Chains A and B, each alone.
Chain A
């Protein structure tokens, strides 16, 4: 019950900040949409008229959507920690009797829900722009997205832990972002073992659902287990590393410093 109250408080704060700083929210939406438009016309000029054009566009829409969520799922925690530390409020978060880890999980969960809502809006815009309307079965896409993003958040926890100890991790965050492009486009067909990487297999299943209309109950159980297992596994492993680094930060008296 107390955790639900805390999550509700997080939701409320997030919503207030998005509304109060609407220009920031709007500019984020517009900039992502502009990037998409540039990519769309790029692909159109290169591939229009070819047999692959439709598939390339569909893939781009799904890939862009997943990449948008991935970037935030991965970097959100580090941004939160660095931002709260520089504001002077991180110590307050870490002093919650509900536990620092639980507070941060709630914080990134709330952020993910808001990002997903924003992404759906962007998706509608993208589909309207391309004229290609994809399948969007909520019961299939949302669970797949949650588990796929959980694996990315595991890496985000490692980066967040490093941010607690080393403070300035923005450079590493920026560079590692490109790693996710590789994970999204990993050659799983040639090397099935790559399904165990974070993000890779989940992205394929999301793409399959949105492009071909595959429903959750039509996806083989083994595939779902891989997505669920990698999601939970990477998230848990990342959280363990985070707790270790948090311990180190408390030991060195660095928690809350900026």
Chain B
């Protein structure tokens, strides 16, 4: 449904040249939810804005449902809806119902035709009781849900969301995540979302594309990433306190190793980039005479995986 090919965006000014996005390529299939991750300034927003024609790429191509966004932007825009500014993407002077009517009109859809959908969305996002209240009087969470509802009223195949849960409380964030899952899995909508909230990614996304310094550094299914990192991370618990010489040896031999000591035991958290490193660690421990109490394979969360990837520790 969405195909981004060698997308590059260079911002030029008299003083500097900034490569915001550097030959980024990825695809999002029909009904797939893909998370676009990356630290601040990585190029996520530029990528999303290029997809919805708000930023003109320097080179590369973008296709939505086969329509070239650069050559036929209006045709592509019939397939895209986006929430880019969260609760600011709506008219605060209008009520939720009026907002949805306006945005459907902006899409060229007659109010009569979308009225049943408006009622359904008001229900789905639990906005029914406030349907005729000015949006400025709604809570931030309600405004954010309304922004998503206004995007949905456009009845497009693709939904682009920039930080959809930013600033939301736990309950509203959960509600929105459930709604996003429903949109993808029940309605078959294709969703590309950028977020810093790893809970959202782990909960909602099928796949993640991680961008760092304008380049794609990872494009994989969330489940695969968790599996890969699960196989690499271990936690050793040792009886007694490790001697200083062994600690220094471990520190110098393994990059991704953390040591914790208590009076009666030592703990080693380590991530192996190659399986042979596990044997090397075992050798060091055996030579030092350490007694291993337990070895656990750790379940890393997506946040740790993300940090590991963008720091180049993979």
A residues with a Cβ closer than 8 A to B are 1-3, 5-6, 8-10, 12-13, 16-17, 20-21, 87-89, 91-99, 103, 247, 250-253, 255-256
- B101 contacts A95, C-beta separation under 8 Å: no
Report A-chain residues with C-beta under 8 Å of the C-beta of B175: none
29 residue pairs from A and B, CB less than 8 Å apart: A1-B108, A6-B106, A6-B108, A9-B101, A9-B102, A9-B104, A12-B101, A13-B102, A16-B98, A17-B94, A87-B92, A89-B91, A91-B52, A91-B54, A92-B103, A92-B106, A94-B54, A95-B52, A95-B53, A95-B80, A96-B77, A97-B77, A98-B74, A99-B74, A250-B54, A250-B56, A251-B56, A255-B55, A256-B85
Please provide the chain B residues from 101 to 118 with a CB less than 8 Å away from any CB of chain A in the complex. 101-111
- Determine the chain A residues whose CB is within 8 A of the CB of B46 once the complex forms: 253
Number of interface residues of B (CB under 8 A): 40
Do A97 and B107 touch (CB < 8 A)? Answer: yes
User: Apart from A16-B98, A253-B11, what 4 extra A-B contacts exist at CB < 8 Å?
Assistant: A17-B94, A87-B91, A89-B91, A253-B49
**Closest CB-CB distance, A22 to chain B, in whole Å?**
12
B93 in contact (CB, < 8 A): yes
Cα of A21 to Cα of B93 in the assembled complex, Å: 9
Contacts of B246 in A (CB 8 A): none
Question: B83's closest neighbor in chain A, by CB?
Answer: A92
Contacts of B108 in A (CB 8 A): 1-3, 5-6, 96-98
- A101 CB to closest chain B CB (Å) equals 11
Known: A92-B103, A99-B74. A247 touches B88 (CB 8 A): no
Contacts of B134 in A (CB 8 A): 20
Minimum CB–CB distance from A90 to chain B (whole Å) comes to: 9
B85 contacts which chain A residues (CB < 8 A)?
A: 88, 91, 256
B61-112 contacts to A (CB < 8 Å): 74-75, 77-78, 80-82, 84-85, 88-94, 98, 101-111
Could you say which residues of chain A place their CB within 8 Å of the CB of B92?
87
A-B pairs, top 10 by smallest CB distance, nearest first, are: A9-B105, A88-B88, A2-B108, A88-B85, A97-B77, A97-B78, A250-B56, A253-B55, A96-B106, A251-B56
Chain A residues closer than 8 Å to B103, beta-carbon distance: 92
Contacts of A17 in B (CB 8 A): 93-94
Question: Distance (Å) between the CB of A249 and the closest chain B CB?
Answer: 9
CB pair A89 B54 closer than 8 Å = no
Chain B, residue nearest A86 (CB):
B88
A93 to B90, CA, bound (A): 11
CB closest chain-A residue, reference B92: A87
A87 to B54, CA, bound (A): 17
| Centre residue among A88, A97, A253, A255 by max chain B CB count within 10 A | A97
Specify which chain A residues have a CB less than 8 angstroms from the CB of B106 in the assembled complex: 6, 9, 92-93, 96, 98, 103
A256 and B84 contact, CB distance less than 8 A: yes
Chain A nearest Cβ from B76, distance in angstroms: 8
CA separation between A91 and B82, bound complex, in Å? 9
Identify which of B52, B55, B88, B107 contacts A87 (C-beta below 8 A).
B88
For A257, the closest partner residue in chain B by CB is B54
